Amino acid sequence: MKHLLLVAALALAAAGTLAQAAESACEAKAMEKHLSGAARTSFITKCEKDAKVASAKEVCEAQATEKKLHGAARKSFTKKCVADAAK
């Protein structure tokens, strides 16, 4: 149980850092593509959302491993976990 709490705490700390990294990476990609205005805003929004989902998937996979889930239970847990994180 303590290990699970530690994993969750580290995941939350990493999520904040990853969000900042994703934001700057998305800004850089938008600049490379010479986007401006609504196209830039839309691109950055989608890019950040995609980065958040990817980050959540990694965290959820780690949690599923910690809970020793396999097969359908792991897939179901991960799917729900990622969906909850995207909200």
pLDDT digits (tens, 9 = 90+) for 30-77: 999 999 999 999 999 999 999 999 999 999 999 999 999 999 999 999
Question: How many domains are there within the chain?
Answer: 1
Give the model's pLDDT for residue 87: 76
Encode pLDDT of 67-77 as tens digits. 999 999 999 99
C-beta of residue 79 within 8 angstroms of C-beta of residue 63: no
Give the model's pLDDT for residue 45: 94
pTM for this model (two decimals): 0.61
Q: Which domain holds residue 20?
A: 2-86
**Contact partners, residue 5, CB within 8 Å, separation at least 6:** none
3-state helix, strand, coil in the chain (%, to 5): 90, 0, 10
Locus of tokens 């020793």: 68
Kindly state the greatest CA–CA separation across the chain.
49
